[in-house]
Structure 1
Amino acid sequence: MVNTDKTICRMIASMLAGYGVKDVVISPGSRNTPLVMAICRNPVLRTRQIVDERTAAFIALGMASGCNRPVALVCTSGSAVLNFAPAVAEAYYRKTPLIVISADRPRAWIDQDDSQTIRQHGVLGGITQASCAVDDVTEDVGFQNRVLNDVLATALHGRRGPVHINVHLSAPLSDVTESGDNNDFSRVIEYIEAPQVISTAQSRRFAEYLHGRKILVVGGFMPPDARLNKALGELAALPQVAVVVEALANVHAAGAYNSPSAILSGLTPMERSDLAPDVVLSFGGALVNTQLKEFLRGAAGSETWCIGRNETTVDCFRTLSRRVEIEPAGFFHRLAGAMAFLNRKNGSTCGYSEKWRKATASAMASSADFMSATPWSDLAVVSHILQRIPHNANLQLGNGMSVRNALLHDLGAFHRVDSNRGVSGIDGCVGTAVGAASMYNGLTYAIVGDMSATYDMGALAYAAMAPGLRLIVVNNGGGGIFHFVGTTRNLPEKDMMVNSPAPPLRQLAEAYGLRYFSAGDFGSLAAAMNSMADRSPTPAVLEVFTDGESSAGIMRSYLSRNNLTNE
């Protein structure tokens, strides 16, 4: 079919149809030509032309309220979109889904005295549920598809209402292509609003869809949840399911694997390929693990369901097909029961769980062999520290290399593991540990780098409020992660990133009445850890000295121990 050559316009037309839009009201212009072409050539969409934008918007409002489904509005660039405002305001307070689509000039021409240009993006911000800006030059069509899904889902779910899509379009505007199919890049991410507990019928529908498929449950950071642990244990017992979580998910379910980086880096490419899932069920916050993210993004033909209460469409693995808005614990419990019922009824010959069990055993054995032979370094230090922390302690991990080194180990035995991974900054790691330790009657061990400690030295002034705090600072000369990542490790300017003033930890500890220990070898480290494990009411600081550059090399060797390149 001959259509506009603007991919973004074909995508918008296809997605309007996918989200149930049947009627589009168009106000004519020049800049919106490719949008008009794409919409008029979509067989699902009916169009009406109304010259005056104010009238057009009110007519669209009446249509949307009369048919109880979304109606789209299209206009050209400049002041045209402002004339939609009265009707959009009415739609906002009537909770009526209008999809406002405004054509715009390229971003480079805004505020440059070009004709028919104003600051259109966000111009209806106070009276729309959501807005986005897309364009015809961004090559990442998956990103633009996800953004459009996010906005369109917002119009139709929760508090329904109008949304605004601003489309930057460059000349020429009327060129066509033979390959312009109305279904180009038209992925519609299904949005499922579930109550507190999904129904038996709905859980069975999900189970029927998943039956016979390889299911990988993946979890990122979240607080401990006993109900979730039980539900994940039920899922992990199924032969077609593997549960792989980071330790920051605080999952203590039988059969769950919490060291994905150690597992995946210990496998050959062929072994990793054999573990690729058909469906990923994702829950929790952002993942630290690059290996796991790349593994899932490279799983050809897979799809992802995002389970949890989210404000936005999270498509981390670029394969999102369903967004299920429900608390994970209840969803997984009901799903596990329905899947187990189908297995008993129809049988299941899927050996996916067993494949993960064997791969994990092999990879963790190679990890243990590597760790046992590792010389003094950040990796060896963190390994020895974790072996000497009481399992009833809480663990706080700093960002950079601290969290990466720690997550290579099985941390499932610890009471709780946390890190500031919402934004993943180094600021506030010590302060967060002080606050967390003040709320726990047992010991709280915090492992941070020297740059993080330097950044947050002021928090030590308040350490006395947390008697159970045991702060461990790995002093590798500042910014160990910059020695590790390929972006910076070979730069001539690397010293601008890794050289930082050494934190005066001994002096600060003495000034604030804290106990201070230091270590530069395995013997002194073991002695310091033994001393810190007591129940003294005085917080303690342990400074461990390592070399950042050699430590980074050892970490790279660990992650490539099966000839894989991982950062």
Structure 2
Amino acid sequence: MKHSSIPSAQLVVQHCKAKKLRNIVISPGSRNAPLIIGFTEDPYFTCYSIVDERSAAFFALGIAQQLKEPVALVCTSGSALLNYYPAIAEAFYSGIPIVAITADRPVYKIDVGDGQTIRQDHVFDRHIGYSANLRQDVTHSLARVQKYAPQWLKEGTAEENQSEIKQFNDSELNKALNVALQVKLPVHINVPFEEPLYDTVDQPTEVALTVMPQNSSEEAEIEMEPFVETWKNSERKMVLVGVNAPNEIDVDILEALANDPTVIVFTETTSNLHHKNFFGSIDSIVAPIEKASNTEELFNRLKPDILLTFGGLVVSKKIKAFLREYSPDQHWHIDQIKAFNTFFSLTEHVKQKPNDFLRKLLFNGQKAESDYYSYWSGRKTNYEARRDEYLAQIEFSDLLAFESILKFIPKETQVHLSNSSTVRYAQLFNLDSSLHVYCNRGTSGIDGSTSTAVGASINYTGPTLLITGDLSFFYDSNAMWNSYIRPDFRIILINNSGGGIFRILPGRDDSENFETFFETKHQMSGKLLSEQFGFNHQIVDEKRGLENALKEFFLPSQFPKVLEVSTPRLLNNKILLGYFDFIS
């Protein structure tokens, strides 16, 4: 087995192996050659080659999201690593451990006009769990070090200085990788290399001194009695769940919440929680209150005494606006690591797993009496009936397309939703409880939805479906430029010829400037792009054609597929806004 001759490259690979980082996503380059050699020559690692660094980072995020373990990125120097930043930010706010390992030029070649050279150290500092900036080896390419950085050798021999460098690099690598493992945040490891870059040795010349992360599985001890007593005595409790991995909460806990008359449970499509008593379309409850003549009375009736939250970020802007205006008396957020004060009313950060805390909270004595659930359940039943009535009378549009699409998704499918309109339309309907639903809600960007879905599909046992808007699809088209897309990968492309979400936001007008610079009106189809990357492609533009296509779309095939759904740009926003008027 070959190893790079550069000591710091050997240390990086050894530390990753010791910490069980198996998956390495590599973008081609020359300065990162020592790392490429080390990772690809060792059969312990599973290496992926993704040319576009932005796509590579989201691809890695998808793998890490599914495996719930760190995944490493490797790129060359210069602007290459800057393309990691969107995925790094997403990982930071979503709590996904990505390890960005970036090759750098020697420090004495930075800011002197050398090619492919930028200030790489600490470049992600505002959105990173830890930045490890390794020191350059002095025993490798000693002649160049003596010429360009003789000050590094003033104290002692090259070997003595190299020993100090190794000790420093070992320490930094341990700190960075342990943060990724324990705190579930992205980390950055920047490694400067001097030429020659491609020399190898048959046996490693370095031995990494690794420090394994401390066992963090033990949960913080908390005094449960105050929580239990407050919970039992409260007549209005709201449970709100944001992004949440599938199968995180036990069925008996869900039943206890669902059958408590003092509790209403608001979930989102990304919550992956299901029960017939849960409220899965939050905006369909809140929007009619906003339009009512007695808005304040209804919002005060909805206002909880206790707001209990867990999971990641919440999509619904309406529930955020409501809870900020009508603050609960207490807000408890359950998470082992962090608690965002989203509603500016946080009173308790419970540092435990939600399933464990809820089990200790819920099964303790008599429940209080209340009409809190029954009243809002009646309003839910009403809007569901009105929704069905509305869907039966509208023209083909985004709303009608989503109603059809979500009914046809096969059980056990992994579903990825792009941001903006797509995830919001999906919120309006119930999904089958067997589906695993994901969306990049950390930063809510459109830039990596496809790449994330492709990465997430790698280790998923069943098929993967991405539902995406047109701007997201075209923006991240390089996601399809790799050899890892499975034949059971499916994309449903909702093409409404622009950024449809901007037509429902305040300030919309029908001017040419709006259509060009906000909505980004276009006439593009996904046909040629799909076929270029080896996808079967089909396009439909009405409900019957869509439902006929969906019957065949999920059947096994030799190639992945794109189903493009063309909807009317100028009608979609009117139908969506009309929906909220109708159910009100």
TM (norm. structure 2) is: 0.58
Give the match for residue 526 of structure 1. 547
Give the match for residue 372 of structure 1. 392
Give the match for residue 349 of structure 2. 323
* Stretch deviating more after TM superposition (267-276 or 247-256): 267-276
What CA deviation, in whole Å up to 9, does each residue of 1:94-129 have, x standing for no partner? xxxxxxxxxxxxxxxxxxxxxxxxxxxxxxx9xxx9
The question of whether the paired residues in 2 share the 8 Å contact of 1:217 and 1:241 is answered with: yes
Give the match for residue 298 of structure 1. 325
Please tell me whether residue 484 in structure 1 is matched to residue 504 in structure 2: yes
Please tell me whether residue 416 in structure 1 is matched to residue 416 in structure 2: no
Report the CA distance between 1:418 and its aligned residue. 0.8
Please tell me whether residue 276 in structure 1 is matched to residue 278 in structure 2: no
Give the match for residue 283 of structure 2. 261
Letter in 2 for 1:320: L
Match of 1:349 among 342, 364, 369: 369
State the secondary structure of the residue aligned to 2:497. coil
- Gap change, CA 1:553 and 1:325, over 3 Å in 2: same
Letter in 2 for 1:376: F
**Whole-Å Cα distance in 2 between the matches of residues 489 and 207 of structure 1?**
52
What CA deviation, in whole Å up to 9, does each residue of 1:469-493 have, x standing for no partner? 1101111111111111114446663
Give the match for residue 507 of structure 1. 528
**Whole-Å Cα distance in 1 between the matches of residues 265 and 376 of structure 2?**
9
Report the CA distance between 1:233 and its aligned residue. 2.6
Report the CA distance between 1:454 and its aligned residue. 0.8
Overall identity of the aligned pairs, in % = 28
Match of 1:231 among 253, 264, 269: 253
**Whole-Å Cα distance in 2 between the matches of residues 288 and 366 of structure 1?**
23
Match of 2:409 among 371, 389, 394: 389
Report the CA distance between 1:504 and its aligned residue. 4.6
**Whole-Å Cα distance in 1 between the matches of residues 560 and 285 of structure 2?**
35
Please tell me whether residue 335 in structure 1 is matched to residue 361 in structure 2: yes
The question of whether the paired residues in 1 share the 8 Å contact of 2:219 and 2:351 is answered with: no
Give the match for residue 10 of structure 1. none
What CA deviation, in whole Å up to 9, does each residue of 1:436-490 have, x standing for no partner? 2232232222111110011011112237622211101111111111111114446
**Whole-Å Cα distance in 2 between the matches of residues 437 and 548 of structure 1?**
31
What CA deviation, in whole Å up to 9, does each residue of 1:140-196 have, x standing for no partner? xxxxxxxxxxxxxxxxxx99xxxxxxxxxxxxxxxxxxxxxxxxxxxxxxxxx9962
The question of whether the paired residues in 1 share the 8 Å contact of 2:458 and 2:484 is answered with: no
Letter in 1 for 2:313: A
The question of whether the paired residues in 1 share the 8 Å contact of 2:284 and 2:383 is answered with: yes
State the secondary structure of the residue aligned to 1:544. strand
What CA deviation, in whole Å up to 9, does each residue of 1:183-240 have, x standing for no partner? xxxxxxxxxx9962756xx323212122332111100002113435542332222221
State the secondary structure of the residue aligned to 2:243. coil
Give the match for residue 382 of structure 2. 362
**Whole-Å Cα distance in 2 between the matches of residues 394 and 436 of structure 1?**
9
- Gap change, CA 1:529 and 1:463, over 3 Å in 2: farther
Please tell me whether residue 453 in structure 1 is matched to residue 459 in structure 2: no
**Whole-Å Cα distance in 1 between the matches of residues 275 and 421 of structure 2?**
27
Report the CA distance between 1:243 and its aligned residue. 1.4
- Gap change, CA 1:233 and 1:196, over 3 Å in 2: farther
Letter in 1 for 2:274: H
**Whole-Å Cα distance in 2 between the matches of residues 433 and 215 of structure 1?**
35
State the secondary structure of the residue aligned to 1:211. helix
Please tell me whether Structure 1 or Structure 2 has the larger radius of gyration of its CA atoms: 1
The question of whether the paired residues in 2 share the 8 Å contact of 1:207 and 1:342 is answered with: no
Letter in 2 for 1:422: G
The question of whether the paired residues in 2 share the 8 Å contact of 1:208 and 1:342 is answered with: no
Give the match for residue 45 of structure 2. none
**Whole-Å Cα distance in 1 between the matches of residues 455 and 505 of structure 2?**
31
The question of whether the paired residues in 2 share the 8 Å contact of 1:232 and 1:332 is answered with: no
Instruction: Kindly indicate whether structure 1 or structure 2 has the higher relative contact order, using CA contacts under 8 Å at least 6 residues apart.
Output: 2
**Whole-Å Cα distance in 1 between the matches of residues 562 and 255 of structure 2?**
37
Give the match for residue 314 of structure 1. 340
State the secondary structure of the residue aligned to 1:465. coil
What CA deviation, in whole Å up to 9, does each residue of 1:55-79 have, x standing for no partner? xxxxxxxxxxxxxxxxxxxxxxxxx
**Whole-Å Cα distance in 1 between the matches of residues 278 and 240 of structure 2?**
10
- Gap change, CA 1:228 and 1:289, over 3 Å in 2: farther
Give the CA RMSD over aligned residues: 2.8
Report the CA distance between 1:387 and its aligned residue. 1.5
The question of whether the paired residues in 2 share the 8 Å contact of 1:215 and 1:241 is answered with: yes
The question of whether the paired residues in 1 share the 8 Å contact of 2:396 and 2:543 is answered with: yes
Match of 2:462 among 437, 442, 449: 442
Structure 2 gap ranges (5+): 1-124, 130-181, 184-215
**Whole-Å Cα distance in 1 between the matches of residues 425 and 345 of structure 2?**
29
- Gap change, CA 1:235 and 1:301, over 3 Å in 2: closer
Match of 2:571 among 550, 557, 563: 550
Please tell me whether residue 561 in structure 1 is matched to residue 582 in structure 2: yes
**Whole-Å Cα distance in 2 between the matches of residues 394 and 246 of structure 1?**
16
The question of whether the paired residues in 2 share the 8 Å contact of 1:307 and 1:327 is answered with: yes
Match of 1:241 among 263, 269, 279: 263
**Whole-Å Cα distance in 2 between the matches of residues 446 and 468 of structure 1?**
11
Structure 1 gap ranges (5+): 1-124, 130-157, 160-192
**Whole-Å Cα distance in 2 between the matches of residues 481 and 321 of structure 1?**
34
Give the match for residue 39 of structure 1. none
**Whole-Å Cα distance in 2 between the matches of residues 456 and 559 of structure 1?**
32
Give the match for residue 196 of structure 1. 219
**Whole-Å Cα distance in 1 between the matches of residues 530 and 218 of structure 2?**
51
**Aligned pairs for 1:102-113 within 5 A:** none
**Aligned pairs for 1:102-181 within 5 A:** none
TM (norm. structure 1) is: 0.60
